[in-house]
Structure 1
Amino acid sequence: MTALRDWVHALADIGPADVNQIRVATEEERTELARELDILSCDSLKATYRLKSLGSGRYAFTGDLDAEVTQACVVSLDPVPAHIREEFSVTLAPAAALEDEPVVAGDREVSSIADMAPIENDRIDAGSLIYEVLSAALDPYPRKPDVEFDWVDPKIKEDKGPFAALAQLKRET
């Protein structure tokens, strides 16, 4: 993912006060996002988020994403515009902590990756997280309204009922 590569925060820049940020993707970033996500276009992308220190090297990354995208219809390949609005909440921790500290729920160990993301190279990659939120929010099968799939395999004959073979034998005799 290279589209939002500049949307990062060094841990040294995050003090005791929360970091509140509003980011709007540039035309170049939106073009790159569309290419990477294999969609027709990303017409707008705005992310409003907060980074808050939770102590012990952990951070809360919460906010919302608002985007206008255009995808190709899976039936006709016509453009299908979509408005995406997603809220997100992720806990960030050093990568080593995610490997060493499993999360326990009751008497069972559960994945520590579920709502957690690693902090690597002493920086929080907000762009990568926002990219993941947008990617997950896209319709995997966008369909233009009132478009029907009407394809018929030419190799299959119409007369394929349970007695079609008997009817064929009768015609041959």
Structure 2
Amino acid sequence: MKTVEEQLSSYKSVHFNKFNIKTHFVGVPLIVWAITVLLSLNTFTVELAGKTISFTPAIIFFTLAMFYYLKLHLKLALGMLCYVVVNIYLASLVSAMESALWIGIIGFIIGWIIQFIGHIYEKAKPAFFDDIMGLAIGPLFLMAEVYFMLGFEKNLEKSITPMAIEKRRLIERAK
């Protein structure tokens, strides 16, 4: 498994343009929320020790994602946990609506359009084109960017930036 530095530097290597990063701060959360809405449309119940527990595929999906984020970086995972809890709650409000399926689909499509517009300005293809894990790293990258803006995890930022610059140089040379 790649380290958090490897994952974030690879993702950052195609995310230097400030406009592209801004589009990601809109597009990625919109996509994640839309997926959460879609994964919250079905609820399952299980009887455990005489208690009925209800859950959705979204809860299973994000539980697995949180284990992955925890394995990569504890402090970023804690930020992601806060984001995921709010995300699941907001999606649950919409998933009860009659039009939830369409809201989820439209949010998903709009989120991707915003993403691809950003990559036009970046003049680089999205990270997941070369590594499917870019889809899981996108939200973590944004959390890292928030931490960096707040002055947290400066050593992580100092570690990934030179790696990302070098990866970008290799990408440019390969063109």
- Whether TM-score is above 0.5 comes out as no
Choose between structure 1 and 2: higher strand proportion.
1
Q: Which protein, 1 or 2, shows the higher relative CO under an 8 Å CA cutoff with sep ≥ 6?
A: 2
State the TM-score, normalizing by the size of structure 2.
0.28
Query: Looking at CA atoms only, which structure, 1 or 2, has the larger radius of gyration?
Result: 1
**Normalized against structure 1, the TM-score is what?**
0.29
Higher helix share: 2
